[in-house]
Amino acid sequence: MERQEALDIVKKQLNQKRYDHTIRVTDTAIALAKQYQENEKSVEMAAIFHDYAKYRDKEEMQRVIVESDLPKDLLDYHAELWHGPVGALLVQREVGITNEAILSAIHWHTTGKVHMSKIEKIVFLADYIEPGRSFPGIEEVREQAWINLDYACFMALQNTIAYLVSKQQLVYPDTVHAYNYFNKQLEELSE
Ligand code: DGI
Ligand code: FE
Ligand code: FE
């Protein structure tokens, strides 16, 4: 699928603000793909569709989770997490995307997970550092993104978990597992 066709499809699912975010995530993700020698076309598609399900009704997303093979524990956590896994399923169903690497990057873009693939890391990080974002500590992550992909993902996870904890919110287990995974991996490298 060509970029423009994909953008036209996703635009119908989003408002202007989220569409503009999607373009910035896509441009950032392609730049990261160049930096880390990942397939640019796959990264582009995953980034374009990463927030495909962002504005589906909570009830519809809940139904998709209940009726599919998606993990049911999602329902015990923040509904903000659902658009990743549900989005991966719906782009397969409604857009016909079958590439597992792309679908997985969409699925895990919010929470992260252990053993993330390069495309998963790139989409996860591009979503976090795109130029429209302003989180505390983001400048260091932006810098690190071009130096060490794993360390940048680790920092993004660290910031997100710290933010959720400060708000006394739940943290989805895979986000914690991802944090521990990168922590251990970086530790091993520095030994
Ligand atoms: O969809 P976006 O707004 O572009 O970004 P996203 O897919 O990363 O979703 C963002 C929100 O999800 C993020 O601001 C924090 C919230 N959130 C709630 N619970 C969790 C969580 N994020 C992670 N990583 N883990 C959680 O358990
Ligand atoms: Fe998202
Ligand atoms: Fe996003």
For residue 162, is it within any domain? no
Helices 118-129 & 40-49 angle (0-180, nearest 10): 50
Residue 191 pLDDT more than 80? no
Select from 24, 55, 81 the residue to mutate for testing ligand 1; criterion: most ligand atoms less than 8 Å from CB: 81
For residue 127, is it within any domain? yes
Q: Is 28 in the pocket of ligand 1 (CB under 6 A)?
A: no
Q: What range does the domain containing 131 cover?
A: 3-135
For residue 140, is it within any domain? no
Residue 59 pLDDT more than 80? yes
Number of neighbouring beta carbons within 10 Å of residue 55: 11
What's the pLDDT at 135? 87
Per-residue pLDDT of 2-27, as tens digits, reads 999 999 999 999 999 999 999 999 99
Ligand 1 atom closest to Cα of 127? 4
For residue 8, is it within any domain? yes
Ligand 1 atom closest to Cα of 172? 27
Contact 119, 42 (CB under 8 A): yes
CA angle in degrees (0–180, nearest 5) for 131-136-140: 65
**50 C-alpha vs ligand 3 centroid, how far in Å?**
6
Residue 170 pLDDT more than 80? yes
Token duo for residue 157: 């996870």
Residue 184 pLDDT more than 90? yes
The whole-angstrom separation of Cα 84 and Cα 92 is 13
Token duo for residue 118: 């390069």
Measured on CA atoms in the order 98, 39, 149, 55, is the torsion positive or negative? Answer: negative
Residue 188 binned pLDDT confidence (cut-offs 50, 70, 90): confident
Overall domain count for the chain: 1
CATH no. for residue 114?
1.10.3210.10
Give the ligand with the smallest distance to the CA of 112.
Answer: 1
Task: Say whether 72 sits in a helix, a strand or coil.
Answer: helix
**191 C-alpha vs ligand 2 centroid, how far in Å?**
35
Residue 189 binned pLDDT confidence (cut-offs 50, 70, 90): confident
Token duo for residue 19: 């569409």
For residue 37, is it within any domain? yes
Per-residue pLDDT of 26-40, as tens digits, reads 999 999 999 999 999
Amino acid (one-letter) located at 21: H
Ligand 1 atom closest to Cα of 163? 15
**3 C-alpha vs ligand 3 centroid, how far in Å?**
17
The 8-class DSSP code of residue 94 comes to: I
Q: Which of 8-12, 41-45, 185-189 has the lowest mean pLDDT?
A: 185-189
CB-count burial class (<10 Å; 0-12, 13-18, 19+) for 73: exposed
**185 C-alpha vs ligand 2 centroid, how far in Å?**
25
Q: Which helix (H) or strand (E) holds 26?
A: helix 16-35
Phi-psi category of residue 130: left, alpha or beta, with phi > 0 → left and psi -120 to 50 → alpha = beta
CA angle in degrees (0–180, nearest 5) for 66-101-49: 70
For residue 146, is it within any domain? no
For residue 39, is it within any domain? yes
For residue 35, is it within any domain? yes
Contact 74, 82 (CB under 8 A): yes
